[in-house]
Structure formats: structure tokens, C-alpha cells
Amino acid sequence: MTADLSAGPDIAPGRLSPQALAEAFDDAHPPLDRRQALIEASRCYFCYDAPCIEACPTGIDIPAFIKSIATGNTRGAATTILDANIMGGMCARVCPVEELCEEACVRNTAEEKPVTIGALQRFATDDLFDRGLQPYERAAPTGKTVAVVGGGPAGLACAHRLALLGHAVTVFEARDKLGGLNEYGIAAYKVPHHFARREVDFILSLGGITVQTGRALGRDITLAQLRCDFDAVFLGMGHTGVRALQAEGEDMDGVMNAVDYIARLRQAEDKGTLPVGRRVVVIGGGNTAIDIATQIKRLGAEDVTLVYRRGEEHMSATWKEVDWTQTNGVKVKLWAQPRRLIGWTGADGTTAVKEVAFEYTQLDETGRLMGTGDTFTLFADQVFKAIGQTFIPSALDVAEPLEMTGDRIAVDADRRTSLADVFAGGDCVPGTDLTVAAVEDGKVAAHAIDRMLKG
């Protein structure tokens, strides 16, 4: 298949009306009302040795909070959730519950569906936020100070728990807003109406947390400086780099990192100003690939194809997310990897993507991925790279190196690094790249820091 090189890429803003965009990016999964929540809560068996608790990375006492909802004690339910996971409101929206608590639910059988734990968790936490309640009060000041680098889920969870325990915390964030991926990286239809900002405000309203935005480690501050100025340091910078395709032509116009476009989309006051291709190719098989493919389709792209180099069972995105993408009209093509991006050269000499050449793949006898030699091409006005993010440790001090595990910071069970007063968590340490896992890292590290500061 050969592209028509006589015409340039078809990329334009405003493919949909403002009303259509508002509907496309409204809450994709509306919350339960009180009657629905009571009915759903009544389905819980309130298991004594509940497998759903074991499946939750933050260990929320799920039967307890559901029982509180069933008895009309919504505030008690919310407090039970937030005691274990201070970002329980966000996690209720973005957690892969179909592979965690709901998958473990004893009602999850061939004959029954599991209790909708995520929806009930959202019902309880939203009610608390809607009533403007702050259930926490700081302990007496300890006189100890802690620096938290990164204002994402790990950093905010650590900062909140430390402040609750009476320590003075300063959060250093490279961007101009706190929230990390919750603010910049999650599909807009999952967390509309500025919920991420609302949750950050709730966390900061506890007190004891000072915020410095626009301050990046390695550029504006150093680890050595922080260790000198504070009693302890927590590193929660998250991912700092994006993997390249390593395919010819990936630097031409029209080829972009999915995370950058999603961040731009999340911050756009008018989504109709975003450039949208008529034909779009997304390369990747994780949550970011799912989010960009679905959102670009909802922005008005006519033809969107997600291409992944392995089978669906190998995708890091959950089956529910894959189904959701296809429900939104995205085509999914498996067992293919990009080999070359073919461009169109304009009158001004700039080259923009026009086609992507793929090679079919398969597994060899040892289970390693290999190309088959057979190829095909897809027309594309836009190509989004979503093959994974990485942590780039260049911001860390060379004079005081941290031990690494691969390309991430090595930590022990307390999230302590090889430096005794430096802890880390979230996407910059080994583990699962989930909001709920990052929150648990921050919480665990906060208690370890508290024990260290109190001797």
C-alpha cells in the first residue's frame, strides 16, 4: 500500500462541536445515587477473612466501609477508606478493580457479578468531599522537617501522613500544579470536573504542608542540599522519560508522545483547540495507549487503530480497558511492531508522517518475540507513541549515588534507599505502576520516616 504523497496530513482542531466535546468528556461512569449504593452495599457478605482486602494494595477494610454505607454512616465509610488510602477518591475512579478487589470478591462467579467496590468507594468519598468535611487533625508539632520531591500520588500520600503525625513537610514539584499523573496523565473522561485538584486541596487542607512548584530536582535543588536542610527526604518523582520506538522516521512532524498530548488535553480549557488527525495510529498496549486512543477518537478522529506487538493476554492494560476502547470505536491490531515511518514533504521542506510500516510478529520456541518478515502499512495523519515510560536518574547527585535496581531506585520494605535518611516510592522505584501502589509507597515510607525521626 502506497500513500498519496500529493496531499499533506489531515490534521485539524475543532472536529466536533463544543456540545459534542462536552458530552464526550463528561463523566464516563456516572456515580451511584444513595438508593443504588444501598442496594449494592446489601450484596456484600461482609466476609471475616475478606479476600478483597488482601487484593487491595493499600489494605482498605472493604467490608467495614461497605457495612457503614449499608447502615447509613457514609462519613464513617469514607474515613475507613481514607485512613488506608488518602487518595481513595481518585483510586475509586482509576484503579483496575477488575484485577484487584472486585476480581477477588467471593460473589465474582459465573452466575454472579462482584460487588461494585470501586463505585461504592467513590460514593462514600464523594459524599465527604461534597459536604466539605475534614476528618483529620494534625498531631502536635514535632519540630522535625521532611522534604518531599514530587507532588504526585506517592509524594502527596507521604506528605499527608507525615503532616498528620506532626512533622513539617515541604513538597517540591517540577510542574506548576500538584497531582502528578492524576492531574496530567489520566483520561479526562475518567476524572472530569477538576476532581484531581479537589483531592489535592483536601489533602493540603490538613495543614503542615508547604508547597513549592516549579522546583525540579537536579535543576533547582539537589539531593545533597535537601539532606542538609531537612531531617529526611522522600523521592516521589515518578516517570521522567518516555521510551522511543527506535524506528526510522519517528522524529518527523505528526509523531508525538502520548503522555505529552494527554497532559495538554487535561489542561486545555477548550478541547476544540487540540489538533486531531483524521486517521490516527497508536502504538502500545498499556493504559496510556488505551487512554490516548479512546480520547483522540472522542475528539473527532475518524479512524483510530491501536497496534500492539504481542497478544491481548500480554497487554498491561486490563481486559476491561481494552473492551472499553473497542466500544469507543477504536480498532485493535495485535502481533505487529513498527519498522518505519513514511513521510510527506511539504513545500517548506518539513516532513510529516503519512504512513507507518509494520512487521507481523510471533514468539519463537523460547518465547521471545521475533519478526516474521511479513509487513503491512497503515495510513496515519498522527502517530502516538505509548510504549512505556522510564525513570531517568540523571537528576540524582553523582556525589551521593543511590543504589539502583535496573533503571529505578532500589528500596527496602520501608521504602528506604541506600542513603539512611532518603526514602522513595511511586513509579521511580521497582513495582507496579498504579496510583494505588504509589499511595501505599508514600504511606509506608511516611511511617518509616516517623519512626526514624522519633528515634
- C-alpha to C-alpha distance for 327 and 128, rounded to whole angstroms: 33
Q: Look up residue 134 and give its three cell numbers.
A: 475534614
Does 65 score more than 60 pLDDT?
Answer: yes
Q: What is the pLDDT of residue 398?
A: 67
Give me the numbers of helices (H) and strands (E) for the chain, helices first please: 16, 19
Looking at the fold, whether 293 and 354 belong to one and the same domain comes out as yes
Q: Look up residue 447 and give its three cell numbers.
A: 511511617
- C-alpha to C-alpha distance for 289 and 184, rounded to whole angstroms: 15
Does 82 score more than 90 pLDDT?
Answer: yes
pLDDT digit string, tens, across residues 340-369: 999 988 888 889 999 999 999 999 999 999
The length of the chain is 455
Domains held by the chain: number: 3
pLDDT digit string, tens, across residues 265-280: 999 999 999 999 999 9
- Are 409 and 38 a contacting pair, CB within 8 Å? no
Q: Look up residue 351 and give its three cell numbers.
A: 516532513
Tell me if 229 is assigned to some domain.
yes
Mean pLDDT of 371-398: 91
Please report, rounded to a whole number, the percentage of residues in the chain having pLDDT higher than 90. 90
Tell me if 376 is assigned to some domain.
yes
Looking at the fold, whether 276 and 378 belong to one and the same domain comes out as yes
CATH of the domain at 55: 1.10.1060.10
Residue type present at position 204? L
Mean pLDDT of 134-147: 97
- C-alpha to C-alpha distance for 160 and 139, rounded to whole angstroms: 12
Does 2 score more than 50 pLDDT?
Answer: no
Q: Look up residue 225 and give its three cell numbers.
A: 542540599
Range of the domain at 95: 34-130
Looking at the fold, whether 79 and 166 belong to one and the same domain comes out as no
Mean pLDDT of 134-163: 97
Rounded (10°) CA dihedral 239, 244, 245, 248: 170
pLDDT digit string, tens, across residues 412-435: 999 999 999 999 999 999 998 999
Looking at the fold, whether 347 and 236 belong to one and the same domain comes out as no
Q: DSSP letters of 397-430?
A: -SSSPPPEETTEE---TT-B-SSTTEEE-GGGSS
Tell me if 138 is assigned to some domain.
no
Tell me if 308 is assigned to some domain.
yes
- C-alpha to C-alpha distance for 92 and 88, rounded to whole angstroms: 6
Residue 5: band (very low, low, confident or very high) from pLDDT cuts 50, 70, 90: very low
pLDDT digit string, tens, across residues 213-267: 999 999 999 999 999 999 999 999 988 888 999 899 999 999 999 999 999 999 9
Q: What is the pLDDT of residue 346?
A: 84
Q: What is the pLDDT of residue 349?
A: 83
Q: What is the pLDDT of residue 6?
A: 54
Q: What is the pLDDT of residue 1?
A: 41
Q: What is the pLDDT of residue 7?
A: 66
Mean pLDDT of 70-76: 97
Q: Which residues pair with 81 in a beta bridge?
A: none
Domain boundary residue among 101, 130, 159?
A: 130
Classify residue 165 as exposed, middle or buried by CB count within 10 Å of its CB (0-12, 13-18, 19+): buried
> Average pLDDT, whole number, for the chain?
95
Domain boundary residue among 78, 99, 130?
A: 130
Beta strand 408-409 pairing with 209-213: unpaired
Q: Which is nearest to 24 in space by CA: 289, 316, 329? A: 329
Classify residue 214 as exposed, middle or buried by CB count within 10 Å of its CB (0-12, 13-18, 19+): exposed
Q: What is the pLDDT of residue 291?
A: 96
Q: Which is nearest to 193 in space by CA: 14, 30, 19? A: 30
Does 3 score more than 70 pLDDT?
Answer: no
- Are 436 and 154 a contacting pair, CB within 8 Å? no
Beta strand 145-149 pairing with 276-277: unpaired
Looking at the fold, whether 255 and 349 belong to one and the same domain comes out as yes
Looking at the fold, whether 159 and 270 belong to one and the same domain comes out as no
Q: Look up residue 143 and give its three cell numbers.
A: 519540630
Looking at the fold, whether 372 and 284 belong to one and the same domain comes out as yes
Q: Look up residue 375 and give its three cell numbers.
A: 509487513
Tell me if 309 is assigned to some domain.
yes
Sign of CA dihedral 52, 30, 277, 13: negative
Please report, rounded to a whole number, the percentage of residues in the chain having pLDDT higher than 70. 98
pTM value is 0.94
Tell me if 43 is assigned to some domain.
yes
Tell me if 139 is assigned to some domain.
no
Looking at the fold, whether 170 and 186 belong to one and the same domain comes out as yes
Looking at the fold, whether 174 and 104 belong to one and the same domain comes out as no
pLDDT digit string, tens, across residues 37-63: 999 999 999 998 999 999 999 999 999
Looking at the fold, whether 248 and 363 belong to one and the same domain comes out as yes
- Compute how many other C-beta atoms are within 10 angstroms of the C-beta atom of residue 67: 17
pLDDT digit string, tens, across residues 104-133: 999 999 999 999 999 999 999 999 999 999
Tell me if 136 is assigned to some domain.
no
Looking at the fold, whether 192 and 100 belong to one and the same domain comes out as no
Looking at the fold, whether 268 and 365 belong to one and the same domain comes out as yes
Q: At what angle do helices 62-70 and 117-130 cross, to 10 degrees?
A: 60
Q: What is the pLDDT of residue 212?
A: 98
Domain boundary residue among 340, 369, 388?
A: 388
407 to each of 213, 261, 355, 392, how far by Cα in Å?
26, 25, 33, 7
Residue 8: band (very low, low, confident or very high) from pLDDT cuts 50, 70, 90: confident
Residue type present at position 320? K
Q: Look up residue 130 and give its three cell numbers.
A: 461534597
CATH of the domain at 296: 3.50.50.60
